[in-house]
C-alpha cells in the first residue's frame, strides 16, 4: 500500500473529497488508513468464500489465465462457490494444465473484503449511479465496512464508492449505560412497536442527535409519545378545519392578511432547514423545529387567533378564505415533511383528505417560493 500513486495515497485523497457527518469521522478513518499495515485478505477457515486461484508448485506463482478464471466463474454462477471444494481441480483447469502441477488454494476471503465489495454488485452491476450518494452505519465501521469499501473501490475503480459517510452512535439506556440482559435495561424495538407503534420509535430517532450515542427507556419514550400526540393533534385540527375545502375557495397570496403572510414566512424558514438537512445528510434539529412550529406558531398562536374567523365568519369572507388556503398549504407541507419519520401517520393524514388512491409517499417535498420570505414580518 505504500509509495507514490498507491492505494493508500489514493484512499487518503478520496477521504479528503468525501463529506462526513459528523465531521470528526474524517479524522478517524484518515488516521486508520495512514497507519494500517498491508491487508492480508486470506483466512484459514472451514467456511467462507473461496479464494479461487491455483499456484504453480514449481514456481510458486499464481496461475494467471483468463480461460481458467472464466471457467471458474461459469461453474460458480451455476453451482455456487462450494463447487470449489466439491469438484476436482481438473474441472477448473481444463485440458491446458495438469492438476498435479498446481496447488488448489483452499483459503477463504476475509469477510471484511467481502463486505467491502458490495458497491460492485449493488450499484455497478445493476446499472445504478456510481458512486453511492451516502454510506450509513455505526461509528465502529470506520475500521470495518467504510474502510474496506474505500480501499477496494480505490484499488479497482480509482475513486471512493461513496460521496458521503454518515455515522450514528450506539443506543444506551436512560442512564447512559450499555444495555444488557443481565442488567435488565434492554429496550426491545418490538416491545416499543407493540406499545406505542413504529412511528414513535422513528420519532425518537429523529428527535435525537444521531451522531452521538442515543439514550432510550420508558420515560424517554413517554416524552416522545407526548410529542407525537401534539403533532397528531395539529394534523387533526387542520384536517377538521379544511372540511369541504375546494380549489375555488383559495385566495391569491397577494390578498393575504399579514398574519397569513407570516405563516408563509415561517414555512419558508422551515423549508430552508429541511433543504439544508437533505443536502448535508444531517437531520439533527429538523423534527424538534417542526414540533416547535406546530405547538408554538400554530396551536398556541395562529390557530388560536383564527378560530373565530373559521367558526363565525361568512364562508366567502377573505379572512376565512385566506386562513383555509394557508391551512391547505400547512397540511401539504407538514404531512410531506413528517412522512420520512412518521410514515404511517403521514399516510393516514394524506389518505383522510385525498382518498385511498393517493399517497404522500408518492409525492415530492413541496416547492416553497422565495417570495414567501418576509423578514420584516418576522421581527
Give the span between the Cα atoms of 3 and 154, in whole angstroms: 15
- CA dihedral over 13, 19, 23, 25, signed as positive or negative: negative
Task: List the grid coordinates of 254.
Answer: 397577494
Q: Is 350 helix (H, G, I), strand (E, B) or coil?
A: helix
Non-local CB neighbours of 241 within 8 Å, separated by 6+ positions? 310, 323, 324, 327
The percent helix, strand, coil of the chain (3-state, each to 5) is: 60, 10, 35
Which of 366, 334, 320, 368 minimizes the C-alpha distance to 239? 334
Task: List the grid coordinates of 183.
Answer: 442488567
Q: Decide if 160 contacts 167 (C-beta within 8 A).
A: no
- pLDDT computed for residue 104 by the predictor: 96
- pLDDT computed for residue 173 by the predictor: 87
Give the span between the Cα atoms of 245 and 250, in whole angstroms: 8
Residue ranges covered by each domain of the chain = 7-41+112-168, 44-108, 216-378
Task: List the grid coordinates of 265.
Answer: 414566512
- pLDDT computed for residue 5 by the predictor: 67
- pLDDT computed for residue 1 by the predictor: 54
In CATH, the number for domain 216-378 is 1.10.730.20
Give the span between the Cα atoms of 161 and 114, in whole angstroms: 14
**pLDDT tens by residue, the chain, 379 residues:** 555 468 999 999 999 999 999 999 999 999 999 999 999 999 998 888 999 999 999 999 999 999 999 999 999 999 999 999 999 999 999 999 999 999 999 999 999 999 999 998 898 888 899 999 999 999 899 999 999 999 999 999 999 999 999 999 899 888 889 988 888 888 888 999 999 999 999 999 999 988 889 999 999 999 999 999 999 999 999 999 999 999 999 999 999 999 999 999 999 999 999 999 999 998 899 999 999 999 999 999 999 999 999 999 999 999 999 999 999 999 999 999 999 999 999 999 999 999 999 899 999 999 999 999 999 887 7
- pLDDT computed for residue 125 by the predictor: 83
The enclosing H or E element of 150 equals helix 145-157
Alpha-carbon torsion, ordered 167, 171, 175, 180, to 10 deg: -140
- pLDDT computed for residue 221 by the predictor: 94
Give the span between the Cα atoms of 177 and 283, in whole angstroms: 25
Task: List the grid coordinates of 307.
Answer: 378560530
- pLDDT computed for residue 231 by the predictor: 97
Amino acid at each position: 500500500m505504500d509509495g507514490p500513486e498507491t492505494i493508500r495515497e489514493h484512499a487518503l485523497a478520496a477521504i479528503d473529497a468525501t463529506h462526513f457527518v459528523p465531521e470528526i469521522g474524517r479524522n478517524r478513518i484518515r488516521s486508520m488508513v495512514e497507519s494500517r499495515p498491508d491487508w492480508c485478505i486470506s483466512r484459514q477457515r472451514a467456511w467462507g468464500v473461496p479464494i479461487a486461484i491455483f499456484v504453480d508448485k514449481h514456481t510458486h506463482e499464481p496461475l494467471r489465465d483468463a480461460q481458467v478464471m472464466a471457467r471458474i466463474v461459469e461453474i460458480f454462477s451455476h453451482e455456487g462457490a462450494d463447487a470449489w471444494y466439491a469438484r476436482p481441480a481438473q474441472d477448473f483447469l481444463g485440458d491446458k494444465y495438469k492438476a498435479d502441477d498446481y496447488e488448489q488454494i483452499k483459503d477463504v476471503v476475509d469477510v471484511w473484503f467481502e463486505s467491502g465489495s458490495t458497491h460492485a454488485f449493488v450499484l455497478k452491476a445493476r446499472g445504478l449511479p456510481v458512486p453511492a450518494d451516502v454510506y450509513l452505519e455505526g461509528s465502529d465501521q470506520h475500521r470495518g465496512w467504510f474502510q474496506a469499501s474505500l480501499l477496494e473501490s480505490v484499488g479497482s475503480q480509482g475513486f471512493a464508492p461513496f460521496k458521503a459517510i454518515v455515522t450514528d452512535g450506539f443506543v444506551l439506556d436512560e442512564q447512559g449505560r450499555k444495555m444488557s440482559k443481565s442488567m435488565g435495561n434492554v429496550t426491545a424495538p418490538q416491545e416499543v412497536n407493540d406499545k406505542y407503534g413504529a412511528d414513535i420509535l422513528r420519532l425518537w430517532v429523529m428527535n435525537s442527535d444521531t451522531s452521538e450515542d442515543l439514550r432510550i427507556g420508558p420515560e424517554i419514550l413517554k416524552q416522545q409519545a407526548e410529542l407525537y400526540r401534539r403533532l397528531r393533534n395539529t394534523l387533526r385540527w387542520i384536517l377538521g378545519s379544511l372540511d369541504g375545502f375546494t380549489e375555488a375557495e383559495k385566495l391569491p397570496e397577494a390578498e393575504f392578511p399579514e398574519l397569513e403572510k407570516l405563516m408563509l414566512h415561517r414555512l419558508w424558514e422551515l423549508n430552508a432547514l429541511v433543504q439544508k438537512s437533505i443536502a448535508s445528510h444531517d437531520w439533527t434539529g429538523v423534527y424538534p423545529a417542526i414540533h416547535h412550529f406546530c405547538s408554538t406558531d400554530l396551536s398556541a398562536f395562529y390557530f388560536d387567533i383564527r378560530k373565530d374567523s373559521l367558526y363565525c365568519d361568512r364562508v366567502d369572507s377573505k379572512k376565512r378564505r385566506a386562513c383555509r388556503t394557508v391551512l391547505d398549504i400547512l397540511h401539504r407541507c407538514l404531512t410531506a415533511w413528517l412522512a420520512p419519520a412518521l410514515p404511517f401517520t403521514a399516510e393516514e393524514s394524506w389518505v383522510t383528505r385525498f382518498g385511498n388512491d393517493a399517497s404522500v409517499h408518492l409525492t415530492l417535498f413541496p416547492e416553497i417560493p422565495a417570495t414567501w420570505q418576509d423578514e420584516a414580518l418576522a421581527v
